[in-house]
Chains A and B, each alone.
Chain A
Amino acid sequence: MAPTAPDTPRLTRAVDGRLLFGVASGLARHLGVDPVVVRLAFMCLSIGGMGIAVYVALYFFVPNEPTAEDTATLDDPTARKGRDVSQLVAYTGLAAGLGTLFLLFGGVFDPLLWFVVFGALGAAILWQQANPAQRDEWMSSTVHRVGGKGLMRAGAGVLLIVVGVIGFLAFQQQLQDARAGLTFAFTLIAGVSLVVAPWIIGLIRDRDLERRERIRNAERAELAAHIHDSVLHTLTLIQRRAEDPREVQRLARVQERALRTWLYRRPADADTTVSPALERVAAEVEEEHGVPIEVVCVGDCPMDDSLGAVLRAAREAMVNAAKYADTSSISVFGEVEPEEVLVFVRDRGAGFDLESVPEDRMGVRGSILGRMDRHGGSARIRTAPGEGTEVQLRMPRTPES
């Protein structure tokens, strides 16, 4: 009665998703249906012997599926999953059960057999539906987990069982006798349902509430973790460094910036454009030297090599201002215009006499003036002792960007 006897040596050749020779799963893949459907169909057909013949014929004439089974078994022994064995056992058990029933009722066309099969099938569907679904529901944090498909399956299962039971009774000519019992049973079930329904609904509500609470808790935990890692940590540091105002200010600024980024910045704003890159450079210098830097940027455009040079020059200017100007804040203004990119770094600090800067001081000449020249831009430095310093960087934009 079974399609083919379970062939233990053959089983070792099994690859992912096949139980015997992969005919059913191959067909299922080909037809785009669940392999279970194809397997059950084969099993039903096999009752008359047809299914076995078709299966064997397909085994010989259908070439292997593109998922080459040999390489898979050889290269990856884990591809043979235990689940396949248990499935095969299940199918064999099902086939054996059907065979027993078949022998018991003595013919394919005895309707009684089919009602028993219906009932069993319905029960199987319900049982299979209940366990994993419930488990999933309780475990998962997504609320709309059980879709229409699950409900449909459960409905089909119930229908099958009802049809099976009533049909069985009817054909046994026992429906008349059983009517009193049935009435009693239905009434009892209805009564129990009425009593139990509110309780079950209450349970479901509780569960939904609990799940929502769990999601909220998870969010709160994430927020708490972030606050702890950043804000609380910084506040602790600030308390420990309270005697060093400069360090306290630096910590506060760093934390403020991190928090702002976390709150407002879209994650896509990486350093691929001028504005965030300029802000990052300023943030780095500020962190390193402890002087607040205010960045204002107008317009934006993608980064390229010469703009990278502008940023490095701007960085050098900020570092100089932070180190030598003895100022409480530095203003950085970047402007992206259609033809050029401008960056101004300004402080109100000590200033210096440009003429007196020795030739060999790399900072100003090499890193700012020279670098801008090499990349086709220009730099201007306006400064005088006591007047503060402003470094003006100008870079023409390359036509295609």
Chain B
Amino acid sequence: MGDESTTFSDGDAVPRVVIVDDHRLFRSGVRGELGDAVEVVGEADDVDSAVHVIGERLPDLVLLDVHLPGGGGVEVLRRVLAQHPQIRFLALSVSDAAEDVIGVVRGGARGYVTKTISGTELARAIVRVADGDAVFSPRLAGFVLDAFSATDAPPVDPELDRLTQREREVLRHIARGYAYKEVAKELFISVKTVETHVSSVLRKLQLSNRHELSRWATARRLV
């Protein structure tokens, strides 16, 4: 596990990664695509073995499939984060279903990408999440915008239940397909500020207990 000062984006170190996915073919595919960008220290194909391998190897980051035999990615998050809250998770799934996406992010994953992502982009996302930032795919950004504007009900906790104007602006650009760097340029802010905004949105998404969030995710079961 990396201590807080390590920044993988500077190239000081290579993140140590555990891949959790029940498809062997997919695991080896990801391994091959990532190449030297990361150090794969373990693999697992169900919840129990994942919890075991992660506890043993203590990686910087876990690439986590949402659908897993034995309770799904959410179960892995629950059991690992209870003991090792410093381990970071990036969810990776073929599913674009809102309840899967929102569920796993609220369960503690710091990002969500679909399996169609290219190898270089995945490596970049891994480095970013391993550094403690959040990674939002355009679709996740769309879901979050949708979820936070889905209701007119007064927020229980205004600080957590509402996105600021700036955060909405950032999310909107991500949903439009802009990379962080492009968002920063567009909004005349630094990349670091964009990352701060995204992390803050992630925190709100995880901590807000506005029940509309989960209700919205269940109601919107399409793609």
**Do B223 and A298 have beta carbons less than 8 Å apart?**
no
**Do A299 and B177 have beta carbons less than 8 Å apart?**
no
- Given A264-B97, A333-B175, A333-B176, A296:B222 Cβ within 8 A: no
B167 at the interface (CB under 8 A from A): no
CB distance from A193 to the nearest CB of B (A): 50
CB distance from A21 to the nearest CB of B (A): 60
* Residues in chain B near residue A260, CB distance under 8 A: 96, 223
A287 at the interface (CB under 8 A from B): no
Closest to A342 in B: B172
Give the distance in Å from the alpha carbon of A390 to the alpha carbon of B172 in the complex. 14
**Do B176 and A390 have beta carbons less than 8 Å apart?**
yes
Binary interface encoding of chain A residues 267-302 relative to chain B, with 1 for a CB under 8 A from any of its CBs, else 0: 001000000000100000000000010101111000
B221 at the interface (CB under 8 A from A): yes
**Do B223 and A344 have beta carbons less than 8 Å apart?**
no
* Residues in chain A near residue B146, CB distance under 8 A: 298-299
A135 at the interface (CB under 8 A from B): no
Give the distance in Å from the alpha carbon of A260 to the alpha carbon of B98 in the complex. 13
Choose the segment among B11-19, B135-143, B153-161 that binds chain A (4+ C-beta atoms closer than 8 Å). Answer: B135-143
Report B162-208 residues with CB < 8 Å from chain A CB: 172, 175-178
**Do B221 and A331 have beta carbons less than 8 Å apart?**
no
**Do B222 and A264 have beta carbons less than 8 Å apart?**
yes
Report A330-356 residues with CB < 8 Å from chain B CB: 331, 333, 335, 344, 346, 348
* Residues in chain A near residue B81, CB distance under 8 A: none
Contact of B145 among A279, A292, A298, A344 (CB under 8 A): A298
**Do A279 and B175 have beta carbons less than 8 Å apart?**
no
Give the distance in Å from the alpha carbon of A204 to the alpha carbon of B109 in the complex. 53
- Given A296-B175, A299-B149, A390-B176, A264:B221 Cβ within 8 A: yes
Give the distance in Å from the alpha carbon of A310 to the alpha carbon of B223 in the complex. 22
Binary interface encoding of chain B residues 201-223 relative to chain A, with 1 for a CB under 8 A from any of its CBs, else 0: 00000000000000000000111
Give the distance in Å from the alpha carbon of A299 to the alpha carbon of B168 in the complex. 14
Report B9-44 residues with CB < 8 Å from chain A CB: none
* Residues in chain A near residue B116, CB distance under 8 A: 292
Contact of A266 among B138, B142, B172, B222 (CB under 8 A): B222
Binary interface encoding of chain B residues 76-99 relative to chain A, with 1 for a CB under 8 A from any of its CBs, else 0: 000000000000000000001100
Closest to B116 in A: A292
Max chain B Cβ within 10 angstroms of own Cβ: one of A296, A331, A333, A335:
A296
A265 at the interface (CB under 8 A from B): yes
- Given A298-B146, A335-B172, A346-B176, A266:B96 Cβ within 8 A: no
* Residues in chain A near residue B172, CB distance under 8 A: 333, 335
* Residues in chain A near residue B142, CB distance under 8 A: 296-298, 333
Binary interface encoding of chain B residues 100-140 relative to chain A, with 1 for a CB under 8 A from any of its CBs, else 0: 00000000000000001000000000000000000000110
- Given A331-B176, A390-B176, A279:B223 Cβ within 8 A: yes
* Residues in chain A near residue B138, CB distance under 8 A: 294, 296, 331, 333
* Residues in chain A near residue B175, CB distance under 8 A: 296, 298, 333, 335
Closest to B94 in A: A256
Give the distance in Å from the alpha carbon of A298 to the alpha carbon of B174 in the complex. 13
Closest to A297 in B: B142
Closest to A269 in B: B222
CB distance from A128 to the nearest CB of B (A): 49
CB distance from A383 to the nearest CB of B (A): 14
**Do A294 and B222 have beta carbons less than 8 Å apart?**
no
**Do B97 and A344 have beta carbons less than 8 Å apart?**
no
* Residues in chain B near residue A344, CB distance under 8 A: 176-177
**Do A266 and B221 have beta carbons less than 8 Å apart?**
yes
* Residues in chain B near residue A298, CB distance under 8 A: 142, 145-146, 149, 175
* Residues in chain B near residue A296, CB distance under 8 A: 138-139, 141-142, 175-176
**Do B145 and A294 have beta carbons less than 8 Å apart?**
no
* Residues in chain A near residue B139, CB distance under 8 A: 294, 296
Give the distance in Å from the alpha carbon of A299 to the alpha carbon of B178 in the complex. 20
**Do A335 and B145 have beta carbons less than 8 Å apart?**
yes
Closest to B179 in A: A348
Contact of B222 among A265, A292, A299, A335 (CB under 8 A): A265
Give the distance in Å from the alpha carbon of A211 to the alpha carbon of B222 in the complex. 34
CB distance from A120 to the nearest CB of B (A): 60
Give the distance in Å from the alpha carbon of A279 to the alpha carbon of B142 in the complex. 14
* Residues in chain B near residue A261, CB distance under 8 A: 223
A-B pairs with lowest CB-CB distance, top 5: A331-B177, A296-B142, A333-B176, A298-B145, A344-B176
Beyond known contacts A296-B175, A298-B142, A333-B142: 19 more, CB 8 A cutoff: A260-B96, A264-B97, A264-B222, A264-B223, A266-B221, A279-B223, A294-B139, A296-B139, A296-B142, A297-B142, A298-B145, A298-B149, A299-B146, A299-B149, A333-B172, A335-B175, A344-B177, A346-B176, A346-B178
Chosen A-B contacts, 6 in total, with CB atoms closer than 8 Å, are A260-B223, A265-B222, A298-B145, A299-B146, A333-B172, A346-B178
